[in-house]
């Protein structure tokens, strides 16, 4: 049964440019402009009308945009829950300007050893993560550690939890890696490894959406009976100020917004394409977390009930439920 009939999330790409070269991502390979403040202001007003409650300012590396603090500040003041994930290379520089404006601030860290993390990210950023934790804590911020899990770094999860996340009082977010298009992430996690993650996710100070694990056990999304609700739950806005459908990773069409996001989203062309969410050939087997998370939240299913405990746990820890109620 569908519980929410409007989009709840906007993935707002401020630029595709990135100062890292992660092996499991191809966004940094794309040429890209930067979003404009006037477009952000108009689009946020329309997102409000559409019922969106969470705006994720993403990239590329979002801190490459010199006005990023203005974007998150505007969204925060309008009552949106704001999220931002960074590799931390620029966070110490922008920390003061971002202070109090990002509800869910994620620092990416995938290994306990500097050499291993930096090799996977294609740039020396491990030390910047540690420095960013120190700076954020001094400013009274509560960032999370976002750990993207592959078979190769599974053993590091325990060490990062014990030596970095817990001593600093930070939530450790477990982000199972996913493949898309030509981007490969190595061998898939085995059943035993998925069981290990599931058990790890129940620890204090750890967030893992259990439905992500179940979806992988089930072989991902299936076009014959799709669980993906990417296009009806999530609006993807590109740095070119286009609406991307049905999602960024598998996006097949881009529609110029031109100051008319509300009308564009409700147009026949967009809604017809949105109706194909989870049913396109490339949707078979998909496990892309950033679209499955909202998909699980808007209708009752086994995934809804499996995702609910971790979602409540995280929002209670972060206090974001208070801002949800204040909307």
| 131-140 confidence digits (pLDDT tens) | 999 999 999 9
CA 308 – CA 17 distance, rounded (Å): 34
| 91-123 confidence digits (pLDDT tens) | 999 999 999 999 999 999 999 999 999 998 989
% pLDDT > 70, the chain: 94
Q: In the prediction, which pLDDT does 245 show?
A: 93
The mean per-residue pLDDT over the stretch 156-182 comes to 91
Q: In the prediction, which pLDDT does 182 show?
A: 57
181 in the Ramachandran plot: left (φ > 0), alpha (ψ -120 to 50) or beta?
left
Least confident stretch, 184-188, 263-267, 322-326: 322-326
**Helical H segments across the chain, by residue range:** 37-50, 68-77, 91-98, 114-121, 126-138, 156-160, 191-200, 210-217, 230-233, 261-265, 268-274, 289-297, 302-318, 320-326
Q: Which top CATH class is 9-326? A: alpha beta
User: Which token pair is 173?
Assistant: 């977010």
Does residue 234 register a pLDDT over 70?
A: yes
User: Which token pair is 172?
Assistant: 């450790």
| 35-60 confidence digits (pLDDT tens) | 999 999 999 999 999 999 999 999 99
| Domain ranges (residues) in the chain | 9-326
* DSSP strand pairing (171-176 vs 144-149): parallel
CA 289 – CA 221 distance, rounded (Å): 11
Instruction: Give the dihedral of Cα atoms 282, 283, 286, 289; nearest 10 deg.
Output: 120
Among the listed residues 120, 59, 130, 122, the one whose alpha carbon sits nearest the alpha carbon of residue 91: 130
- The residue whose two tokens read 């746990």 is 313
The mean per-residue pLDDT over the stretch 198-218 comes to 97
Does residue 285 register a pLDDT over 90?
A: yes
Whole-model pTM above 0.85? yes
Q: In the prediction, which pLDDT does 185 show?
A: 57
């Amino acid at each position: 049964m569908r519980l929410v009939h409007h989009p709840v999330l906007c993935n707002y790409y401020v630029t595709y440019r990135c100062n890292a070269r992660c092996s499991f991502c191809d966004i940094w390979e794309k040429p890209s402009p930067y979003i404009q403040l006037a477009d952000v202001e108009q689009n946020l007003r329309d997102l409000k009308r559409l019922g969106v409650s969470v705006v994720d300012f993403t990239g590329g590396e979002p801190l490459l945009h010199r006005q990023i603090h203005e974007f998150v500040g505007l969204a925060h003041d309008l009552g949106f829950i704001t999220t931002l994930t960074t590799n931390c290379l620029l966070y110490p520089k922008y920390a003061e300007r971002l202070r109090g404006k990002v509800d869910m601030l994620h620092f990416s860290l995938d290994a306990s050893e500097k050499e291993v993390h930096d090799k996977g990210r294609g740039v020396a950023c491990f030390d910047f993560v540690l420095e960013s934790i120190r700076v954020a804590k001094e400013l009274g911020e509560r960032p999370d550690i976002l750990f993207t899990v592959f078979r190769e770094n599974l053993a590091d999860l325990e060490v990062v939890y014990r030596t970095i996340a817990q001593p600093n009082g930070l939530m450790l977010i477990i982000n199972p890696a996913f493949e898309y298009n030509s981007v490969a992430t190595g061998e898939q996690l085995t059943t035993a490894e998925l069981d290990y993650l599931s058990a790890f996710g129940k620890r204090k100070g750890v967030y893992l959406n259990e439905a992500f694990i179940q979806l992988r056990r089930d072989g991902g999304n299936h076009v014959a009976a799709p669980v993906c609700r990417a296009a009806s739950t999530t609006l993807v806005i590109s740095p070119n100020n286009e609406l991307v459908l049905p999602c960024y990773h598998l996006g097949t069409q881009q529609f110029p917004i031109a100051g008319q996001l509300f009308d564009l989203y409700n147009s026949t062309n967009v809604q017809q394409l949105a109706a194909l969410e989870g049913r396109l050939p490339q949707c078979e087997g998909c496990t892309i977390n950033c679209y499955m998370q909202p998909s699980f939240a808007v209708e009752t299913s086994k995934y809804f009930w499996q995702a609910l405990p971790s979602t409540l746990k995280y929002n209670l820890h972060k206090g974001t439920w208070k801002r949800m109620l204040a909307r």
